[in-house]
Chains A and B, each alone.
Chain A
């Protein structure tokens, strides 16, 4: 770690030195650019409009009179961008060679304008692959949460998002991947939605939901969303892949009431932005209720969100934005109201409070143009309550509650019972970030620097998992023990970063842009489970000709393990020690268990690191057509996974011949010193490791075919070929198959040793080739936009490959590892692990029987399917508007055969849906 800090300091030094030496050359040629921003038509000044001067990265906001100043701007040619909620982005080129006074007139967004954007746009300023999805696109899509918005990305499957299911962010992966979901980052108004304090009861599960639930973010309060699929800026960390930056609405807006209705969902929102004292207040209240399947009332999701924002200028130089976010969401599933209520139901309640304060102070000093900071806190109360009737199908269910190793006489249930398990999770996050932004110009080059530091604190003070009644546990087995989340220490994470955005206009055509960044993160510094990460990155973009941009990048991103990975639950293993159930002597009935509790020391888990490589070509063609190609490869060689490691313990078994002394009408006596069997049991320790390997690669195509003017129709064609390959590099071991063992092993679930096989040979591969064509017809005179989307999945492939493997070793009960060489494969092992070249007289296994043969599975290919959807948005003057959509327009749900099945399977099921959205400006 010290090495990392030293490296970081060195880099900062270099950057500072570069700046210091560059500074004098530009001295004396600095000017002020003054702006006055007003609304078209009314001429009213616009307050708190965001103004950018690119590529300097200079930023300011307008005051109550609509005025803003960029001070100390070096001579040069820049792009001025002004944006404000509800208005078209204002963009112009300015030549700064003296103090300037500019007037910018902004046009309110409307479908009466010729330019309407209802698709995801590739962000042009920035070498990394970023898509921007704006308000009009979100409205046209009729999104109800952030999860819906993601289907506008190239290569994404379109379809219905069921709000009753949790959604996490899965970018560039064809299979739900735990690490990539946990390692995605959602930043709402500057504050990352952290999932580091998420805690679960029981062991690590690679299939459990991880990451941020996108449903929490209601779509109606979003101004725009940036999705960074490529290599993100060093400013953003604690992620492996996938960064989503959400900007919520800020600015004066009229009262707006929105209602979205479709058979699976109702969503209403009310919002307004208004001036209050010297600032602007925004608020948005949103209510959504979803059922998933309208025919069934067995599950629902309800969501209430209140967002309040207050933008205030403390002084001319100090602009602040404070956001309050309150959320209540309830996931429920249970019995249909018409069915007999037997008390079984699951509910998941989420109360979240979030407060974020963003500030920006313009110092206008050479090394500190703008200092921005973010302070944020979120606290959630997550209450999960599950009730079910626990079946006792075998007639005997032990109630295991022991939390320490030992022998216990346990009570048992003979009949099914209603049980309730409760999880109270109280994750909290505190976040503070300071960012210094400055820029300089030397000759034909511009540099914009970001230097910053970040501190994150995550904790969980919840009571954790417990049973409503300890005598009737919800999960009456080894995975059902209570766990207090508050026992787990808090997580501290410190980061520092530096980034240089370099731009060099070589001549009128050729231009080089580079983004060089370095980020250093230390988690639990000086602690027992400390991890550090140094993540460099480089993005380059070169304008080779007026019509061609070449870009490429390479970068590392690191996600530190969360609380749940660093501090896993205690692992329990329970074995029957005696089961004596005389039917004629009820008092003598006895059930004894041996419990083994292992406290896992998880100091082996490290960061998951993704290396991203990208290479892209952007063509500008005649007629305003644009064509982009992008090849990428994301590799995570150390994704989070369950760690396979063993411990052994001794567990005794007692019966009437040994240890148990019954007597009629009295309790049966146990003599622990006289067991019938002494078994040595292998037990998996249950930690979390970094053994999952995932490689995502692919080729994306984005073709903006321009407008067919006579019919006012724009065409967008996109395609993606993607491949995901995943495997496990951890210890690959198994017990000796019971069929080869004497029944005394098989009957008691024992193995004489664990056989070890080479790992990393069994791979799961997924491939998909998908094309999407979007036709967007815009009729400004009717204030109407219609879009049709056709999507074809040409190729959908999945192959779970198992290789033929010979055992390469075995772990005996003393946990020693013994090698099995290739020539030993003709021989035998006895139950103690002694090797014999010829058949021994004692119980033995034949090593050649232990070979794992390749499975006869063949790749599964889904036949070609396609899908059509249509959407329409119509504005009703200033009063409001309406949108309609139909997914799977022609109800194409064909029965098709796959390559491995002889039966017809219905495809595209559940893709048909329709809905309407109405909004009124009051």
Chain B
């Protein structure tokens, strides 16, 4: 909890004094990478719709939390000049990019059956997962600097 008040970077947006980042930021990362896994399971099962339904809900949950996390990131970026680095903006941009990709992906996933995933849905899930993981990786760095000192 050392990041609540960080002398070098100042106080970030928090809820009841606790920072939001641990609460909201991981959810899109987990959900979007999860959707890639359930997409692969769908393809591998030859079209068991259970996996398609999982993917749809993971995309929706990831999108909802990505919007919340994105807003809170913007607030931090606006308040804390030391965050407005290439890495800080880059991390935000990657989250926004993942949101756009996965929004389109959720429209693709709303199709009925195989074409909800193959091929466009699966491709977007893979790209979205890579982008959202890059976002998390950079945001971590923007908080702690190069190297892991958490």
A and B physically associate: no
| Chain A positions near chain B (C-beta within 8 angstroms) | none
| Chain B positions near chain A (C-beta within 8 angstroms) | none
